[in-house]
Chain A
Amino acid sequence: DIQMTQSPSSLSASVGDRITISCRASQGIGNDLGWFQQKPGKAPKRLIHAASRLQSEVPSRFSGSRSGTEFTLTISGLQPEDFATYYCLQLNAVPVTFGQGTRLEIE
């Protein structure tokens, strides 16, 4: 199975900050990666697919990028509604696998 190593596991930031979350794949997966947001007690919500393609309803302060097997989710100008847990998901092989999650908290 492809392992996704996500970091950091938690992150404290303030409204207006720029933050980055990383996921490293255990092997090459091309651009077959998505990002999801989950708020406490809620279902996950899709943000980005194909490493950098923003879903249509997602604010442009979210962006994704790739360098080799390392993927980055960036949020520029944090808003109060952005404080949540974020997961990456690789789609290159079955089973699709998630990173461990990054909990983004208000500082």
Chain B
Amino acid sequence: QTVVTQEPSFSASPGGTVTLTCGLSSGSVSTSHYPSWYQQTPGQTPRTLIHSTNTRSSGVPDRFSGSILGNKAALTITGAQADDESDYYCVLYMSSDIYVFGGGTKLTVL
């Protein structure tokens, strides 16, 4: 079964740029996987940040951007802030018409 890979944890400095990635255990991520990204703080419902690789959801600051970098999808946070400290999940749409979540990345800003 396909596994979607994410960094388990990532540390950033306030004001810094963070790039989280979303890959496949076999093969490359492309726009055809319609990568989407979600932010979840503890005890809260996930919030949609990015869909269709690079489209920001309504109300999401432009500090958040999505792209394909090499063979992975990427979420970049420019000017990281303390309240960006959260878990981040990507989701890929697979050709078998199923959706697979990555394991999530725990972002620490300090």
Task: Indicate whether A and B interact.
Answer: no
Residues of B in contact with A (beta carbons under 8 Å apart): none
Residues of A in contact with B (beta carbons under 8 Å apart): none
